[in-house]
Chain A
């Protein structure tokens, strides 16, 4: 295969997620539940000056909601969100970790009331190290537990 065969389709309007932790791109696609409405390009485990290695996600014709951005913050801390308009970067921001999230994480504690009754979960988030604490059962989840429990 020649290098010429590899094409990253640049997007003209939409979202580019950059500086994603390696291994998070597929998880992000799964969480965003985009179906087949958008042209999507992934780059996995590419070289990065800043991180060594990183993932990238390009989504044509999509702007993310606040809730979607929170999900990305939890599973790919330090990611950069680029909003592309008319083939230019209209906005570029590091995604900030939310202080709390509602209904975004499933509590890992099987004995938690939120797993027994239909109640929206509520978690408070703290950084360095990343932790999510359930408002109900007070169980703290670590980074890998959060990664697997964002829904």
Chain B
């Protein structure tokens, strides 16, 4: 497959804030092409290349899907899934680790507990860096797979009415997704969260004017209008008062009963892992899109690896 890179301007994938609409659409289109491609054909795309997979902190979904994607494209994968097995333990700086790894590999995929670590890695590396999560800052490939899931399911993102539910204050996933969705046309966002976990003002301000926003603490108010409900986990440790958590947590649990009040094409997404915020009885319904969403991590990460792994 020839890579027409003119619609993709980035040398690294570090933050969703670096993406233009054209960059995002390029990755989504590449992901569609790769999903439809036979594995034998895919296998040649990064044949002979080495992908370094540096996971300085644990991850299940992200690491496995990146490594699977790299292998599907025929690349070799080197790396580690636990920083304890590395020289970081001996006090080596991230910058030095990256300077070494870039000599061994063609693309670097990295998850690291410190915010901004991915930007730093990209600065010192001549090889492309893909951020697989830097502390509580960015996780851009999650956002891209969320967008891909919507586009794959609805055929488009423009015009969708998307609810975001749960912890909108601390959840980086919903922050990045809201920013990305605001670049599409006529998207309407519904922020549904308890008062203390509302979407932060700086995110709402950043996208205001580009997208219609409605806010409520009440899920039922918006349910009949939504195409997608993006649910997130409410973490107990965010609450100073455990009683407050107990009072709030059940209000945001999705059960089969809510599906009686939704559109027929209504879909539920979730970045996973879920704890109890989506009742398992929903899993077998058409509304459950979250497992497909996790599966979409493969073509999206293939698209990113293939785009950055093949030189311009």
Contacts and interface: CB of A to CB of B under 8 A. Distances in A.
Q: Do A and B bind each other?
A: yes
Interface of A: 109, 111-114, 116-117, 119, 134-140
A135 B14 CA distance: 11
9 contacts: A109-B115, A117-B93, A119-B95, A134-B116, A135-B119, A136-B117, A136-B119, A138-B115, A139-B137
Interface of B: 15, 17, 93-95, 113-117, 119-120, 134-138, 202
Given A117-B94, A117-B95, A119-B95, A138 B202 contact: no
Contacts of A114: 116
Nearest to B95: A117
Nearest to A117: B93
Given A111-B114, A113-B120, A137 B135 contact: yes
Chain A interface helix/strand/loop/mixed: loop
Nearest to A109: B115
Contacts of A117: 93-95, 120
Contacts of B137: 137-139
Nearest to A140: B202
A113 B116 contact: yes
Contacts of B116: 112-114, 134-138
Nearest to B135: A111
A116 B114 CA distance: 8
A136 B115 contact: yes
- Counting chain A CB atoms within 10 Å of each CB, the highest count among B120, B134, B135, B202 belongs to B120
A109 B17 CA distance: 19
A112 B118 CA distance: 11
Contacts of B115: 109, 111-113, 136-139
A76 B134 CA distance: 33
Nearest to B113: A111
A8 B137 CA distance: 50
A128 to B, nearest CB: 13
A117 B115 CA distance: 12
Contacts of A135: 116, 119
A138 B17 CA distance: 9
Contacts of A109: 115
A123 B266 CA distance: 42
Given A117-B94, A117-B95, A138 B138 contact: yes
A137 B112 CA distance: 12
